Every structure is written in C-alpha cells, then in structure tokens.
Structure 1
Amino acid sequence: MPSSTSRRTVIKSGALLLALGVTGCTGVPSPSPSSGFPSSAAAAEPGATFNFGTAAQPLGLDPALSSDVESQRITRQILEGLVGVDQTTGKPTPLLATEWTESNEGRTYTFKLRGGVTFHDGTPFDAEAVCTNFNRWFAFSPDLQRQAPGSSFKGVFKAHADEPDLSIFKSCTALAADTVQLDLTQRFTAFLQALTLPAFAIASPAALAAGNANVLDRQKSGQPLSAFGTNPVGTGPFSLSSWDEGSVTLVTNSSYWGDRGQIGTINFMAYDHPQTRLQALLDGKIDGYDAVTVGNFDQLVKRGKQIVQRDPFSVMYVGMNQAVGILANLKVRQAIELAIDKETLIRRFFIDNTAKATQFVPPKISGFNNNAPELGHDLAKAKQYLKDAGYAGEELKFYYPLNVTRPYLPTPEKVYAEISRQLTAAGLNIRPVPVEWSEGYLQKVQSPGDHALHLLGWNGSYSDAENFVGPLFGEKNGEFGYQDPQVFSKINRARSMPEGEERDEQYHTINDQIAATVPAVPIAFPISALALSDRVVSYPASPVLNEVFTKVQLKP
C-alpha cells in the first residue's frame, strides 16, 4: 500500500459527514421551493457522454424491491422521492416535496408537492401518484416479500398490510393535487431521513400498472423481476435507454424540472474484477469507477489519477446463523469472535484509515458507543471457549460472494480466505461455499437456510442509528436466526424517542446487548473510494451514496 504521504498528492476530499452525527437532523425544516438546487437551469443542452465503471450489474431497477448498491446507483438517476439529502449536512432537503409540516405529536406529516412535474411517460406527478406508491408498498404480499428480500419498506415501517397492527404506516391521503398527508401509527424520529432512501422514490402509477410491478415473472441475471423492474419510470433527470448484458444506458430527461447538468448519456459498465475496472480507466474506456481496492491504489497513485474517498458510513461483518445447531451456543459464537484478527484484516484488505469496528453504529452517528464491549483477538481463549462449549468439529458452511466489490467489502475472496484461515487455526471445521454475487448471494444469506457463517456488510442510507441496528437486529430474520425480544423492544422504543441524550443512551445499551450476544462479528468501518479520469472536475461523493450525475462537472 502507498503511504499516507504519497496518497495526499492525488486524493481529493469526498463528501464529509460534517453534521451527520449532529442531533437535530429530524427537525422540521422550512425550506424554500428551490432549496438545494441551482437557481437557473444549465445554459446548454446536456450533450456529454459519461462512462462509469461499476462492480456488478444491478439486481433490479425497481427501487422498492432492489436495495443493492449498483441498483440504487442507477435508480437514483431515474426516480426521485419526496425528500432529498443535503450533501454537506446530511439533513433532509426538498425534492419532489418543496416543504412539509409535522403534527399530531410526530404521527402526521403534510407535504406540499412541487408543481409542473411529469413522469417520463408524460403522466402528471401529484398527490394521487404519491399515495399509489405508498399504498403499493404497504400492500406487498407475503409471497412478494419472500421473492424480494431487498424491499426496505418493512425495515422502516415494521410491517405490511398483512400485519397492520404491527405497522407504523397508517395511511396516505391526497388532500389536494399538490398536498399529501402521511399518517403513522406512532412517532418515528428518523421518518424524514428514512424517506430519502431510494426505496421510497415515486414511480409513475401508469407504468407500475402497465409493467405489472408486483408480479416477478421475468428473469435477468438470475434475478426474478417484473416488467417494471426492467424498465422503471420516474421523474428523475435521466431515463432508461437500454439494459444489456454488460451495461445500462441512461439518457437525459428533456422535460426534467431541475438542473440537467452537462451529461446527456450515462453508460454504467460492469467490470466484476478490480483490475479490469482499473485497466478500463487507464485505457480511457471509462471516466471513473467505484470500489477502489487496496491493490489498485499503487497503480492509481503512480499514474496520478484522482482518488475521491468517502467518509466511512458502512460496517463489514461476519454473520452467524443461530438456526444452525452449534451456533445457538453463545460460547461458540464468542469463540469465533475471539479467533478473528480484525487488525490484520484491515491492514491487508482495506484502505488506509479504515477503523476497527466493535459495534454496528459508525462513529459519526449519534448513538455510537465509545465504550462498546469487545472480546478482542485471543486464539488461545478461542480454543478454550470451543472446548468449554463441547464443540466436536461440526462442519460450518461459510458463504462468501464471488466476482463483486462492495463499498464495505473490497475483495471478498481474499477476506474470506484470511478469516477462514484464522477460524481453522482456532479449531473450527470450515466448509467454503462460494456463491456468485449475480446468482443470488444476497437472497441466499438473508433468507433461512444452511448458511452458518457469511460475509456481508451494511451501507448506511440515512443519518440515524436506527438505519444500522433496526434492519439488522430489530426482529428475527433469516440472516442471523437471532431472537432477543428485549433488544427488539428497545430498538422499537428508540425509534420513537426524541433526539437527545436519553435516545443516545438507549442506543448505547442496544449496542452493548448486541455485542454481548454476538449475532455477528463487526469487523471494520471501511472507507470507500472512487477513481476518476482527468476529464472530471468534480464528482458529488456522498457517504450515503446519494450521488446524482447531474452534479458531475466535466472539463469542456
């Protein structure tokens, strides 16, 4: 790895989370209709072509059902939600809603909608369209939820219409064409931040109906999709032109209501190996790529290429499935934690300044616990714990993904190999189960099954501790087989507590209890980075990956 000194000659600052950890992000703003956007449209018709290298093909283009990074990178360009994210402060900003009010003790939100906006298919954006989308998400059937575990609605609203008493979503009401009211059954402190998730982008009701959006009767790269999921229609600055085996092409939306920027065509080109992405940049085939790895750094530095780093806003972990016999034993899970040498993993496989993780809430988020407990790395103690647990060499299937790079997991094959070596040294019987990312890795490890151990991570999407502990540990799921009613109850209570010291202390306690029961081993808070060609003047790097390409600035 190059030294920190040499990196400073080429690295540019990414977007900083300057205020992401500051309380008050959920206050009700009084934004002006144009807040957060340029005061005038771009003078020239967008005509530039921008080629961007991605680490994998998207798993689907219906943001309500596909939550992987590459899918969201593309759908952020095509569809928009009611609320956006300020690049500097992380606070909610106007997008399709120009202003909003909170009432009824935090259980009612009223949004004034932007006027004169149309979907790509020419149909109007209005309050009825908003309610069509919210009612669709709420009504997702149990079968659809099983087919699409990437849905974010349940993680935020707790339940769908099949369990209405458990859901915090109550109703959506179109008060007027330009006014919509969302009612919750209980206060949710991070509600506005949660609405910035790509999953809550508003799609054309006509396109949802025409594309049978809730019927996943298509296949693409092994993923079940609806017709809509292959051809989404939103209000965003770009629309889908084509989705081929190796690339996705978007074109500028000529009727877009906001600043259209410089780019007329975006080609998202998939390269599933870090070296092929690097070579494509050096050969001038692409203008930039995401997921720079440690192995890329030297060559990028030597060539003087721009490297833009994002502040850490993800956590990489080793998951453990307590539904697999021996892992129900706490001593075995603790032995696994003791056997893993996090420092070696970070030094060898992650970008400089990546921090060791002892919990699942990153340091810049309110609720991070400076004194979170950890067992540390102690091979002798790991062996003793296994002996005390009566471990008799039972085989543990260890799932890990192939041919993919995630912001939280730059080189999964190498990371797996080192962790497997460490666990084997402690006396564990590890059976490798490699799975192609494009062949349903996420679904396999997030659903009930025989995965004992697995590599994964969580990339935060909004600035609240709930976004990290809630989706992972807020209820029993197929990924961990984790059952702790006390933690579930505390997470649910923390969601509705007002921001402040008491809420932070609640999350400290939650982190402590999760650490004590070891449903997974947090390894690192990784720094992710992009590499850019000299053609790029600036790129809107965002820790929460809210990177819309109208804000990319190119040399003339």
Structure 2
Amino acid sequence: MTRRTAIKTGAVLLGLTLTSCTGEAAPSPSSPEPASATPASSTAPTATFTFGTAAQPLGLDPALANDAESQRVTRQILEGLVGVNETTGEPTPLLATEWTASPDGRSYTFSLRPGVKFHDGSPFNAQAVCTNFERWFHFPQALRQQAPGSTFKGVFKEHSDEAGLSVFKACTALSPLLVRIDLTERFTGFLQALTLPAFAISSPKALAAGRADVLSENRGSQSLSAYATHPVGTGPYRFSAWDSTSVTLVSNRNYWGDRGQIGTIHFVAYDHPQTRLQALLDGKIDGYDAVTVGNFDQLVKRGKQIIQRDPFSVMYLGMNQEVPVLEDLKVRQAIELAIDKDTLIRRFFIDNTAQASQFVPPKLSGFNNNAPALGYDPSKAMELLAEAGYKGQPLKFYYPMNVDRPYLPTPEKVYAEISRQLTAVGLNIKPVPVDWADGYLQKVQSPGDHALHLLGWNGSYSDADNFLAPLFGEKNGEFGYQDPQVFSKIDRARGLPDGKERTEQYQTINAQIAQTVPAVPIAFPISALALSDRVISYPASPVLNEVFTKVQLRP
C-alpha cells in the first residue's frame, strides 16, 4: 500500500485563497453575524481529548511566542478581532462582527461582539482592544531582545521607539463596542495579518496582574512572564495547568460561540516520533502532529487515519553573513550547489513534498516560475570555493534536537545528510546540536556565531508578504542579510493594492533574493497528523488554525 492510499481524510483548506494574494479590505464580512453573543449550544461538553505534540510550548503569551506548539495552545484560549474562513481562507468575523475601511486604506473601524467576557470575568470591549495594541506597539527594546518571538515588528515594521517608521499609528476606543485602528500607510494584508495568533486579545486585567512585559520567570531555558504561564482570553477553552510534560485546558462555560464536544484538552509532549506513534497505538493519545516518513509507513500498516495539510511552509538552510566567510556570494552559491534537494526530500519528507527554489509557496501569487536556481552541481560548488579562496575555515552548523516541526521532520537526520553533502565539496562543517527546549530559536535568530542553521517558516495567512517581510524585510540576526533595495521593494509591495503590479513586484523580489542566496530554500513540505479511530473529523489547516471545538468524536 502506498502512503497516498493510507490517507482516510484529506485536508485541502484555503483552496481558493491560496491561488491569489490577499485582497483589499472589504467594507464588511460577506455573511451576517448574530447581533449578540449567545452560546450556540447549551449542552456542556464532557469529552476528554489528548493530543500528542512534538515539543512543549515555549511560552503561552502569543505576542511573544511564535513557535507552532505555543500557538497551538493559545489559539484555543485567546481570540483576535478577525478569524479565518475554513473554506476560502478569507478574513471572517471573530471578536469583531464587522468592519469598514477608509478609502485610503489607512483606517479600519471594527464593531465588536457584545456580551463577551474574558475568562477572569472582566469585559471585552474597545478599551481592551486598545490596551493590547498599545502594549504591542510599546514593547521596549530590552523585552524584544529577550523574546525574539515577538511578531509585531515583522508585521508593522517598527515599535513606538521608531514611531515614524511604524505602520501602526493609533488605536481609539470610539465607544465600548466600536474601535478604530489607524495606520500610517496602506497595508493590503492588514486584515489577514490580524488573524495571526500574535494579535489575539488578552485580558488587560490579567496582563497587569501577570506583569506580562517582565520576563521574571524561567521554564527550562526560556524567560517568561507570569502571564505567559497563565494566559487569559475570550476563547472556547480556559487555561488549567502546565507541568513538565503537558498543558491542560478546560471548556469555557461562558463562551459566546459553539463549545463543541471536548470539555478537557491535554497537550502532551513527546519529543521523539516513535514515542508519539507508540502513544497513539497504545491508546494514550487521540492524535498527534508531525508525522514523519518512518511513522507514515507504520501508520499505514496499522490502518490509522492520516490527514495531510496543504503545503504552506518552506524549509531552508539559513546562512549568516555576519560570519566573514559567508559574506562572499561565491561561497553561498557553492553551498546551494552542494545540496541535493531531491535526495533530502525523497528520504525525509512525505510524498508530494515539492522542491523549493524560493521562499513563497507556488499557490500564492508572487511565486516566480522563473526565479533563478543554481541546481545541484558538486563540481561547480568546488570550483566556486576555489575561486573564493576558501581555505577550510570552520562553519558552525546549528541544528535542533528532540523536536519535529511541521516544516522539518527528523532534523537530526536532515542535518546529517546536508552536512555530508557540504563536507563532500570541501566545506569544514562543525556540528552544533542544540536542544529545541534549550532556546534553539533564540540562538539562531539572534546575532551570533551560527554560520549555518536549519529552520523553516510556516505561513499564517495567504499573502506573499507573510513569507518575505519577516525573513527578508530588514536586516536581522538570523541571516545578517543587508539589501536596502530588497527591503525597499518589500515595503512598497505590501502597500500596493491587490493586482498585477503587486504580483509582479513580489515576483521580482523573489528573483532578487534567489540571486543573492541569503539562505537556501529546500522544500515546501507537506505536514501530516495521525488520528485514532475515535476521531470522526479534525479541522486540519495549512496555516495551523486548528481550534478543537471543531473536532468531532464518536460517541
């Protein structure tokens, strides 16, 4: 039996939206919403659902943690103004029931859902929205350095200490249920960006009580605030507990929407693929994420459900141009030429994973069919290294241990193969394994001695800007990449109205990035989940917007 025939349920979400860029803001949602927040069902959910994850979350304050495991949990607890339509991927009402945009695209007015309360009993209103926006805008530089998972700058360009360069201007509470957000310039993807977990609305009371901007606590190597260990939102689940192996959530009895079947969720971390698989086979968990190639075949033989997500991520080899030897374009080109992407994909990724030559997935407009790619040519790689005068300088190669990511299954094995390929052309590779829980993300995304590293980017909304701006919109500690022309083009493209000019601009940007090789895109991976027979359906999403009220279980 092939891997493909083992799939009982497919996940083909966002099918319409992934074929085009984010559109301009519509005056209001296309479907009407109820006028008040009344629970959709009076039946209290009683089921317990246990989900296996590839790692513990790095923190539960979504404004400061952008790893997939943290977001998986916080999506259940907190909600933003705007949600994502499961079928089309378009922005849909959530805590805002409708919105209007000014003609110049610089002001958005949101009508808020009435009668909603935070889990601590405090009211959700316009002032609460503004408290959150002002908090993100005013994040101090010291906090941003401690918590590189902050998303605000990647979307809005700058914080209040560089207010003149920020896209965000102000948030104004016009009335308890009416809020206006002003921007300094048109931002075509603004509504889509608001669907990011980072812009979920926290209880102002809880933020203050938990000293959310003071990272005074430690969990492993992570510095967290008290709030990040006990988040408070308006979502369908309330935080209950977080221990050394799991996070527990319970149904919010006052939730304004449908509470679903599940009354208690346990997110249990298994840092090895085989232990996740065995836990499912033993009936300890109801499902797990990050199915690997080896898992896939075993699951097929056992007749287990496998759900594949549409590819909406890119896995890459990062290069840090702050390391002197990597300043030379010929060395970076040699590294690209040395990598046999076909072998990597065939050995370590699920079937139908596509090879990548750029950082924007092919289903998004802005993808460039003609982006330059050097291909696999070890002989040419050795020639370029000789031309560059490479003398065997050591290159520290960071890779994560004890984790699998949706974009990077079995990273230790992927590292070993890439390292072998690079060594074969004469590069002096020095392995630097770092446990994921020991701050791997912070180490490779901050300035440092990492010459090479393995990482990826999972898109959160269907716009090329979501891939290019966070990675290459400005100089950062991950790549040490400095191309003012690309920075300027990205800045311009994100403000253009949707259409031919915007698409062509992103295509040009993709080609320019490919020519200078700041990193090597390797694959657009297909990720997959495994589920027990108890699960009838699971809301698989390419952007990982998977809220467990929509899980359906057998009686």
Paired residue type of 1:506 = Q
Shift, 1:451, TM fit: 0.1
Identical columns (%): 74
Q: Which residue of 1 aligns with 2:9?
A: 12
Paired residue type of 1:12 = T
Find the aligned partners of 1:392 and 1:510 in 2 and give their Cα distance.
Answer: 33
Q: Which residue of 2 aligns with 1:58?
A: 57
Q: Which residue of 2 aligns with 1:222?
A: 221
Is contact 1:240-1:249 (8 Å) kept? Answer: yes
Paired residue type of 2:177 = D
Find the aligned partners of 1:167 and 1:223 in 2 and give their Cα distance.
Answer: 28
Q: Which residue of 1 aligns with 2:461?
A: 462
Find the aligned partners of 1:96 and 1:322 in 2 and give their Cα distance.
Answer: 43
Paired residue type of 1:201 = A
- The two structures have a TM-score, normalised by structure 2, of 0.98
Runs (5+) with no aligned partner, structure 2: none
Paired residue type of 1:532 = L
Find the aligned partners of 2:204 and 2:186 in 1 and give their Cα distance.
Answer: 28
Is contact 2:57-2:67 (8 Å) kept? Answer: yes
Indicate the SS of the match to 1:146. helix
Paired residue type of 2:28 = S
Q: Which residue of 2 aligns with 1:276?
A: 275
Is contact 2:357-2:373 (8 Å) kept? Answer: yes
Shift, 1:298, TM fit: 1.3
Are 1:478 and 2:459 an aligned pair? no
Indicate the SS of the match to 1:163. helix
Paired residue type of 1:313 = F
Following superposition of structure 1 onto structure 2, how do residues 54-133 of structure 1 map, counting pairs within 5 Å? 54-133=53-132
Is contact 2:315-2:521 (8 Å) kept? Answer: yes
Paired residue type of 1:42 = S
Q: Which residue of 2 aligns with 1:258?
A: 257
Shift, 1:22, TM fit: 2.5
- The two structures have a TM-score, normalised by structure 1, of 0.98
Shift, 1:12, TM fit: 1.2
Shift, 1:30, TM fit: 2.5
Question: How big is each residue's C-alpha offset from its partner over 1:41-62, in whole Å with a ceiling of 9 and x where there is no partner?
Answer: 2352100000000000000000
Is contact 2:24-2:497 (8 Å) kept? Answer: no
Is contact 1:33-1:94 (8 Å) kept? Answer: no
Shift, 1:23, TM fit: 4.2
Indicate the SS of the match to 1:521. strand
Shift, 1:15, TM fit: 3.5
Is contact 2:392-2:426 (8 Å) kept? Answer: yes
Shift, 1:40, TM fit: 7.0
Following superposition of structure 1 onto structure 2, how do residues 365-384 of structure 1 map, counting pairs within 5 Å? 365-384=364-383
Is contact 1:10-1:304 (8 Å) kept? Answer: no
Find the aligned partners of 1:344 and 1:34 in 2 and give their Cα distance.
Answer: 50
Find the aligned partners of 2:6 and 2:219 in 1 and give their Cα distance.
Answer: 42
Are 1:406 and 2:431 an aligned pair? no
Paired residue type of 2:20 = V
Q: 1:225 to 1:133 in 2, by over 3 A?
A: same
Find the aligned partners of 2:424 and 2:7 in 1 and give their Cα distance.
Answer: 40
Find the aligned partners of 2:443 and 2:120 in 1 and give their Cα distance.
Answer: 36
Q: Which residue of 1 aligns with 2:28?
A: 30
Question: How big is each residue's C-alpha offset from its partner over 1:97-116, in whole Å with a ceiling of 9 and x where there is no partner?
Answer: 00000004000000000000
Question: How big is each residue's C-alpha offset from its partner over 1:386-425, in whole Å with a ceiling of 9 and x where there is no partner?
Answer: 0000000000000000000000001100000000000000
Following superposition of structure 1 onto structure 2, how do residues 158-177 of structure 1 map, counting pairs within 5 Å? 158-177=157-176
Paired residue type of 2:322 = A
Question: How big is each residue's C-alpha offset from its partner over 1:520-545, in whole Å with a ceiling of 9 and x where there is no partner?
Answer: 00000000000000000000000000
Is contact 2:212-2:225 (8 Å) kept? Answer: yes
Indicate the SS of the match to 1:112. strand
Question: How big is each residue's C-alpha offset from its partner over 1:315-371, in whole Å with a ceiling of 9 and x where there is no partner?
Answer: 000000000010000000000000000000000000000000000000111111111
Q: Which residue of 2 aligns with 1:446?
A: 445
Runs (5+) with no aligned partner, structure 1: none
Find the aligned partners of 1:275 and 1:9 in 2 and give their Cα distance.
Answer: 18
Find the aligned partners of 2:377 and 2:115 in 1 and give their Cα distance.
Answer: 63
Shift, 1:29, TM fit: 5.0
Find the aligned partners of 1:258 and 1:87 in 2 and give their Cα distance.
Answer: 16
450-459 or 15-24: which moved more? 15-24
Q: 1:223 to 1:33 in 2, by over 3 A?
A: farther
Are 1:157 and 2:159 an aligned pair? no
Is contact 1:313-1:543 (8 Å) kept? Answer: yes
Shift, 1:39, TM fit: 9.7
Find the aligned partners of 2:316 and 2:470 in 1 and give their Cα distance.
Answer: 14
Find the aligned partners of 2:97 and 2:154 in 1 and give their Cα distance.
Answer: 26
Find the aligned partners of 2:427 and 2:41 in 1 and give their Cα distance.
Answer: 60
Find the aligned partners of 2:201 and 2:25 in 1 and give their Cα distance.
Answer: 23
Q: Which residue of 2 aligns with 1:509?
A: 508
Is contact 1:11-1:309 (8 Å) kept? Answer: no
Paired residue type of 1:269 = V
Paired residue type of 1:298 = D
Q: Which residue of 2 aligns with 1:535?
A: 534
Is contact 1:249-1:265 (8 Å) kept? Answer: yes
Shift >2 Å, 4+ stretches: 20-27, 29-35, 37-40
Is contact 2:6-2:306 (8 Å) kept? Answer: no
Is contact 2:22-2:498 (8 Å) kept? Answer: yes
Find the aligned partners of 1:382 and 1:450 in 2 and give their Cα distance.
Answer: 23
Following superposition of structure 1 onto structure 2, how do residues 145-544 of structure 1 map, counting pairs within 5 Å? 145-544=144-543
Paired residue type of 1:418 = E
Find the aligned partners of 1:276 and 1:305 in 2 and give their Cα distance.
Answer: 16
Shift, 1:222, TM fit: 1.5
State how many pairs are aligned. 552
Find the aligned partners of 2:377 and 2:364 in 1 and give their Cα distance.
Answer: 29
